[in-house]
Structure 1
Amino acid sequence: MGRARFNRHQVLEDATVLFWQHGYHGASMQSVFKATGLKPGSIYLAFGSKEGLFEATLEQYTEQLLDEFKQTLEQAESIGSGLCQLLYAIIDESQQCHYCSCFLIKSQLELAFHDNALAQSAQRQLQKIEALFEEYLIQAYGQTQGSIYHAHLMLQIFGLRVYGYTDRDQTTLTTMLQNSLPWLPWQAQAA
């Protein structure tokens, strides 16, 4: 009997949707098997455990976000205008009827009170995102100002990801961001 073959990327996509919607603790192994279409042996052989699968979903999600963010920032007229584009995209996302926030932030919030490898893994993945933004901001604004802007930006992103669950309209969220991050070139961007 040979090894079961499957599309790892697709399995991780399917598992990400499940964990994103139900959380690590809310997703049973039965629901993992159903969502991925894999048998228990295949999951355990490929990922070792539910924890291993969850960590792999966090890693794949982070790599996709990093690629998306880098592409937007590299193609933008400036770092500031690229950040405006990303923030507008977050607002647009929050207006979707099935808004689920950011998988990394939701995972960090769920696991924050658990002193375990999963909480640390979620934190490491978030730190990669933060490091990317800090790198670009320091490049654009210098070490001191870039670090300050980075802290402001991250507070707004985290807040927006959670605040997006409220029934605020797009205009209100945009105005709040523009007032909180006045150093970004909002006037040059179309919402």
Structure 2
Amino acid sequence: MDAIDLDLGTMTIAHNPDTARIAAALFSEDDIGAVIRCHFEVERATTHAVSVITQDRWRVVKNCRYLADKLNLLEVIGVPKHFLEPARALNRHRNGLAHQGVDEITEDQETEITRLTRLVFPNYHDDFELRVSGRHTFNKKYRDCSTKERYVMTVGQVAMMIAGLPEILAKYYVEAATRHRETPS
């Protein structure tokens, strides 16, 4: 897969991911709790994106209850795979925890989800810094984090990306149409 060539600039999205849940995942004592919280938040973002893009018509689609189903629907209606692959990786990792007895986030899982996220957000790099204050305090650069912390930081980006799909797609399709008009036949 090649990187998406799209300047998102500054964008305001209509969905607010639950940052308290992402922070709870970050500070979770175990990886299972972290992944479950991350999965829940990405699924909320996905439900938002599907609802906005389809104007709530997606609810009549049979067998569209799970995150994988919603991601497949987004792909069918035209969302480029690049935007969906990080959430699909998270879903696979969550299913490994739920159905295969896996109980920790592996370095390979973290590397996979980060690599897929960077295809869409190349500026999400090792110097990315996350600051959390409140009941707990956290202030680290990506490169200085544990595997679980890097994973949760990346999933925070995934949640924002999925939640922002309606706004991202508006820019994506405008730029695609402009490039198409400028390309000689």
TM-score, length basis structure 2: 0.30
Q: Which has the higher contact order (CA 8 A, sep 6+)?
A: 2
- Structure ID, larger Rg: 1
- Of Structure 1 and Structure 2, which has the larger fraction of its residues in strand? 2
TM-score, length basis structure 1: 0.29
